[in-house]
């Protein structure tokens, strides 16, 4: 049936009811890639994580950490994309796990994933506000309170989601393109100048060095943290053109493209300083000198000024992408009537734009409340708002990724034995799932160090318990629905595109 692309279409669910649909054919391959890469926020991952990895993690082996993480995530993505060829759902992990491990595990994972993306947005608003206040003061002498920038970013994110994914895509392409360009300019300049004061060294990319240093576990965790959000490609399946082809390609391009970029940029940053000098710069009062020094020396002071502004726009792009992810998860849970009241609220789409506009506004409201709570408590927007909420969300999403890997194993064994493959649907998801669980262990064992000044925070101590509580709520509510509302239980994770329904 032909659908007017200006109107959010409706399609059948498992029980014949209709649900509001997102706008179809709104984004292509490059658009999905940009949305996914924006959640990884290359400039934020590089300037925010690499200095800490070099000073307190695996030292000059930081680029090797990214190499190891890229291989593990690529293996995970093999199973993830195999399932994406059969199922297209805005719920992504929620839908995948529901089909693989059942509705109860699906709802628990869906709530965990939603929880993760909901807290990621205010976390990124924290680092955005920090970058904005410091850059404005350094370069113009004007001081503005960080909460003013937080309000600005909340408004931008809400507006972008309201007008649909195509509008958000255009903004992200612009923001992402500029931040990648300035990092690449630094890295390429170092390479063209012969690799820094001591020439080239392969030590930073030697995989053995990923497991050395002050705290190799911490370094590896930060490497994996730098990719969080790459899996969001699956969320845009219903809005993309030819999702069975686009989503698997976009996922692998995101993982490998971001990985090669991370390895090269971090390697050249260390080489551009010199190995010993890089550790010294990362451990100084201004750890960003790890990137600013080679940028100023090999590109020019103007590039350092530009990089500071692009750190602001990069964190804005990342927060905007996470806002879109959170809105789509809320929408996916709402349209299936997980709670009846949600179906005609967050489960609705905009009549003209086909966007999850109500879910987007709810996400904005939740972010505003969390940001307000940290502001009232007098907490720092970087050390507390960004770091604590990022750790909380990362723990939740890594657990969901591990569960999704095991769901792939079961799904193909039960539903598509004819499509089973020794590597794609067995070895890759098994290795990927075990590796994801290992990263969760790394996170739990290094949480205190990762939190820095907030290592004694009550929120940090409560993080594993909050994640467990969200998962238990999903399990408990699914069992309640199974017993008392089986017709609603039957819908859990089952809303997929009509023309690409699970087969």
For residue range 56-83, list pLDDT tens digits in order: 899 999 999 999 999 999 999 999 888 8
CB 478 within 8 A of CB 107: yes
| Rounded-to-5 percentages of helix, strand, coil across the chain | 75, 0, 20
pLDDT category of residue 109 using cuts at 50, 70 and 90: very high
- Locate tokens 């940009």: which residue? 34
Q: List, for residues 120-176, the tens digit of each pLDDT value.
A: 999 999 999 999 999 999 899 999 999 999 999 999 888 877 665 556 667 777 777
Tell me, rounded to whole angstroms, the distance of Cα 12 from its chain centroid.
30
For all residues of the chain together, what is the average pLDDT? 86
Closest CA to 333 of 17, 92, 12, 157: 92
Q: Six-digit token pair at 159?
A: 């507006």
Could you give the residue ranges of the DSSP H alpha helices within 163-288? Answer: 165-192, 216-225, 243-273, 275-282
Locate all alpha helices (DSSP H) within 15-145, ordered by sequence.
29-40, 42-56, 62-84, 93-101, 103-140
Is the CB of residue 23 less than 8 Å from the CB of residue 33? no
- Radius of gyration of the chain measured on its C-alpha atoms: 22
What's the pLDDT tens digit per position in 455-475? 999 999 999 999 999 999 999
End-to-end CA distance of the chain: 19
Tens of pLDDT, residue by residue over 19-55, are 565 566 566 787 788 778 877 778 888 998 999 999 9
Please give the Cα distance from 188 to 195 (Å, whole number): 9
- Whether 303 has a pLDDT exceeding 60, the answer reads yes
Please state, in angstroms and rounded to a whole number, the distance separating the CA atoms of residues 410 and 303: 50
Is residue 295 classed as helix, strand or coil in its secondary structure? Answer: helix
| Chain centre distance of CA 258 | 12
Give the least confident one: 235-249, 309-323, 352-366. Answer: 235-249
| Tokens (6 digits) for 234 | 């699956």
Please tell me the pTM assigned to this model: 0.87
Place 313 in a pLDDT band, splitting at 50, 70 and 90: confident
Domains of the chain: 29-493 (1.20.1740.10)
């Amino acid at each position: 049936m032909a659908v007017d692309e200006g109107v959010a279409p409706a399609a059948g669910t498992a029980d014949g009811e209709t649900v509001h649909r997102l706008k179809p054919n709104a984004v292509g391959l490059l658009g999905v890639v940009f949305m996914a890469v924006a959640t990884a926020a290359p400039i934020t991952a590089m300037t925010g994580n690499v200095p800490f990895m070099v000073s307190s993690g695996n030292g000059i082996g930081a680029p090797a950490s990214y190499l190891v993480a890229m291989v593990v995530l690529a293996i995970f993505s093999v199973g993830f994309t195999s399932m994406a060829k059969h199922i297209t759902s805005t719920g992504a992990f929620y839908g995948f796990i529901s089909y693989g491990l059942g509705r109860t595990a699906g709802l628990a994972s869906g709530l965990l994933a939603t929880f993760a993306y909901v807290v990621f947005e205010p976390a990124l608003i924290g680092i955005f506000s920090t970058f904005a206040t410091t850059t404005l003061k350094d370069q113009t002498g004007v001081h503005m309170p960080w909460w003013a920038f937080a309000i600005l970013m909340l408004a931008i994110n809400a507006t972008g989601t309201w007008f649909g994914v195509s509008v958000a895509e255009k903004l992200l392409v612009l923001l992402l393109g500029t931040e990648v360009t300035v990092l690449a300019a630094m890295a390429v300049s170092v390479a063209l100048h012969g690799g820094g004061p001591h020439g080239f060294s392969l030590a930073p990319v030697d995989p053995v060095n990923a497991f050395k240093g002050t705290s190799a576990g911490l370094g590896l965790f930060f490497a994996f943290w730098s990719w969080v959000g790459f899996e969001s490609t699956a969320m845009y399946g219903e809005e993309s053109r030819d999702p069975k082809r686009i989503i698997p390609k976009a996922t692998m391009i995101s993982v490998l493209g971001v990985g090669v970029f991370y390895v090269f940029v971090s390697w050249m940053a260390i080489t551009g300083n010199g190995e010993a000098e890089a550790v010294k710069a990362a451990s100084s009062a201004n750890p960003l000198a790890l990137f600013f020094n080679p940028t100023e020396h090999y590109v020019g002071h103007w590039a350092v000024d530009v990089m500071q502004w692009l750190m602001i726009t990069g964190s804005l792009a990342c927060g905007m992408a996470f806002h879109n992810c959170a809105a789509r998860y809320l929408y996916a849970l709402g349209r299936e009537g997980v709670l009846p009241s949600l179906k005609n609220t967050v489960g609705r789409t905009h009549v003209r734009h086909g966007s999850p506009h109500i879910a987007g506004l709810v996400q904005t409201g939740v972010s505003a409340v969390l940001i307000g709570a940290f502001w009232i408590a007098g907490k720092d927007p970087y050390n507390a708002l960004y770091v604590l909420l990022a750790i909380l969300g990362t723990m939740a999403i890594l657990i969901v990724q591990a569960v999704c890997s095991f769901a792939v194993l079961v799904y193909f064994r039960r539903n598509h034995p004819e499509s089973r493959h020794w590597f794609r649907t067995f070895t890759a998801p098994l290795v990927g799932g075990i590796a994801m669980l290992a990263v969760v262990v790394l996170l739990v064992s290094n949480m205190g160090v990762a939190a820095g000044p907030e290592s004694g925070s009550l929120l940090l101590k409560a993080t594993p318990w909050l994640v467990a509580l969200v998962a238990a709520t999903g399990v408990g509510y699914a069992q309640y629905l199974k017993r008392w509302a089986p017709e609603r239980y039957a819908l859990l994770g089952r809303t997929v595109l009509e023309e690409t329904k699970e087969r």
